[in-house]
Structures are given as structure tokens and as C-alpha cells.
Chain A
Amino acid sequence: MAATDTRSSTETMKLEVFRFLPDEGEPPSFQVYEVPYRDDWVVLDALNYIKDEIDGTLSYRWSCRMGVCGSCGMMINGEPKLTCSAFLRDYYPQQIKVEPLSYFPVIRDLIINMDHFIDKMGEVKTWLIPAEDKPIEDGEYLQTPAQLAKYKQFTMCINCMLCYSACPVFGQNPDFIGPAAIALGQRYNLDSRDGGADERADVLFSDEGIWECTFVGECSEVCPKNVDPAGAIQMAKVTATNDWFKSFLMPGRRKKSGGNK
């Protein structure tokens, strides 16, 4: 980075921003805004500048500004990114195109409707279903570092939905359970304290679940937290296939798809 102070600089940069105002009854359009260029600014800073100084009608989601909350995901020049982590200097002096996350319905401007994503997490039951109920007096559920290691990567998901916008399968079939929800299902299935694999199996191992995935692999490439949902889905396919063979060889055996924990 240059040591010179760019704060007083008169350099500017153009942002081409997707606009959709449902109450106006107009079709969506792009609006170009000119913002000051600063090499320590991210795209979110530029959007905040637009909102504060140029056009207060622009709507978008954001919260933490530090790549943790997962609210500010948008398409930047066609790539799903967290706008709080995308620096203007990586695009300067070219114009930046900002659009709402691909494949999701747009409610207004850069805000997408994430209801289906939330519903899918509910269907997959992305929470801990204890393998054994025990009273609080009996203490905590213990886990070894090796047991933790098996699912820890998948706990890093911040529900930013960038993976969905990188997934052409989701683009073609909005009912696909999708990368993040499956990775989170896998996160609990692989947890030694969890016993909910059977309850998740119907959704996770359905045609709209793991078998819809054709392993494009871009979900893992765009993930800001290195969750590797593509890996999670393929591992789940292996588990489901093994279970199928086992149930085939041993018909009396109950279906269980938690895999080895």
C-alpha cells in the first residue's frame, strides 16, 4: 500500500449499483454513483458514503463491517463477496458493478429475500439434537480434540449465502437445500454429541439435498470462512452411499447416516 495519505485526494471512483424500488412500479435499473477513492475503503464504505451523502434511498444490509456477521454479501463485478472485505483498491480505477446476491429474489435494491434459506436450515435441523438426554447435574457432554476436529471447519459458517450465489445448481433449482444448509447439517451429523442424523436424513439425503449437487465446487471457492461446503456435501454422499449398501446387505438394520464420529 502506498504510504501517501489519500484522504485529501480528489480521486474518485464510480459504482454502478443495482436499483429496484418495488413501490415505484419501475423495472430494475442501474444507477452510477461517483464516490471518493480511498485506498483503505471497502465497497461497503463506498455504499455507506452513497447512502449518507448522495442518495438516502439506497437500501442494503450490513452490520459488523469485519467479515463476521455475514450480512453484507453482494455481487461485485459478478462475484459473490462480502462488501466489507472487498477493497476499492483492488478494482481502482475501473468502475465497480454492485448487484444483490444472484439467484435470490430481490426485495429492494441490494436486499434479497432470504426466507427460503432460513426455512431450509429449519428443515435440515441445523442444531444439536443430543444423542442422550442427561440432567444438568451430570455435567457437560465431553468431547476429545479429535472429535472436535471432525466438524470444526463446518462451524465457521456465517450464513452469508455467498455459496448459494456461486451455485448454478441453486440458480436452476431454488428448492435445492444448498451448500451452507447441507454443510451445517453435516456439522451436526459429525458431532459426537449429536444423535439427530436420522431426523436430518430425509431432507439431507433427498433429491433436493445432497444428490442435487453436481460438484461444481465454486461454493467452496467463494466461501469467506473456508467452510468448504462442497467437501461437506461429497462426504455426505459417501456416508449416504455406504449406508445404502449396508441397509442392502443387512435389511434388518436401521438406516443411520451419521457416519463415523
Chain B
Amino acid sequence: MDNDSSTPTAAGPVAAKQHIRKMPVNWWLKKPAYLRYMVREITCLFVGGYAMFLLMLAARLDKPEAFETLLASPLAIGLQWVALPFAIYHSVTWFNLTPKVLVIWRGEDKLPGFLIAGAHYAGWLAVSAGLVYFAMSGGADG
């Protein structure tokens, strides 16, 4: 915490004697946990960017050539390479937080956190495996 702001507030005699410390703009660099939090928040831009890309693909579903041109464009490939690690970080950090949000009681005991998070990971794996199977087997045409 910086102590550079010695300016008292102007809100009356009592408050005027208090010292208000300003939050430094680089507060998120002061602790690794804050930095991890900021990265987690920023991942949403990449997840959102990838969602936009999917929408653009969906808009070309009836035009196979345009679909493939977009899919094969270097920009799209670049986006996917950048978005993938961010999307994984996004998913992992949020899945790890699920036990705090979803609390299931069994009498006097909480269902252990690893089961809640584990169920999410299992669901993620199942959906991913299903999609890979769908793609490998030739999709809707196969």
C-alpha cells in the first residue's frame, strides 16, 4: 500500500483529520492471487472472441465454401491457438471454484468439494469425448 496520498478528505472536521489511502492502480500486481484473478477475468474476452467466431461459422453453414475459407484462414487459426489456453484456464479456474457455489448437504456433512468439482470435470470430459467422436465419425454426414 502506497502512502503517497496524504491529502485529507474534505468531508467535515472529523473526516478531515483521517488519512485516506488511495488504492494503487497496480494493486493486481501486489499479490500472485490477484494476478491470477485478473487473468481469470480477462480470459472472458477470449472465450467471447471464440464464441463470435463460432457465430460467424454458423452464419456460413449453408455456404460450404465460405465456411471452409473462414475455418482455414490464418486469422481464425491464430485466434483458436490463442483462445484455447485462455479457455482452458477459464474452465479450470471456474470449475475449481464450483464447490464454493454449489453446496450439497448430506445431513450434517457437506458433500466433499472434490466431488462437486470432479463432477464438472467429468461432464467436461464426456462432452468433449462426444464431440470428438462426432467429428471423427464424419459428423452428420457419416
Contact = CB atoms under 8 A, between A and B. Distances in A.
Interface string A25-39: 001111000000000
A29 B105 CA distance: 51
Interface stretch (B28-36, B63-71, B130-138): B28-36
Contacts of A148: 108
Contacts of A168: 23, 27-28, 34
Interface string A127-162: 000000000000000000110111000000000000
B18 A78 contact: no
A149 B28 CA distance: 35
A106 interface: yes
Interface string B1-37: 1010010010000010111110100011011011001
B41 interface: yes
A75 interface: yes
Contact of A145 (B3, B20, B27, B108): B108
Interface string A84-106: 00000000000000010011011
B140 interface: no
A116 to B, nearest CB: 11
Contact of A78 (B1, B33, B108): B1
A235 interface: yes
B108 A216 contact: no
Contacts of A75: 1
A218 B100 CA distance: 13
A238 B15 contact: no
B72 interface: no
Contacts of A105: 9, 15, 18-20
B37 A217 contact: yes
A244 B29 CA distance: 37
Interface string A205-240: 000000000111110110000001011001101100
Given A145-B108, A218-B34, A99 B41 contact: no
B27 to A, nearest CB: 6
Interface string A101-121: 011011100000100000000
A78 B23 contact: no
Interface residues of A, number: 39
A146 B107 contact: yes
B101 interface: yes
B3 A18 contact: yes
A28 B19 contact: yes
Contacts of B27: 168, 171
A20 interface: yes
B35 to A, nearest CB: 11
Nearest to B98: A234
B100 A149 contact: no
A8 interface: no
Contacts of B141: none
A106 B34 contact: no
A172 interface: yes
B23 A22 contact: no
A234 B6 CA distance: 36
Nearest to B23: A171
Interface of A: 18, 20, 22-23, 27-30, 75, 78, 99, 102-103, 105-107, 113, 145-146, 148-150, 168, 171-172, 214-218, 220-221, 228, 230-231, 234-235, 237-238
Given A99-B3, A171-B23, 7 more contacts: A18-B3, A29-B3, A105-B9, A171-B27, A172-B23, A218-B34, A234-B101
**Shortest 4 CB-CB distances between A and B: which pairs?**
A27-B6, A105-B18, A231-B100, A22-B17
6 contacts: A30-B3, A105-B20, A148-B108, A149-B108, A168-B28, A238-B101
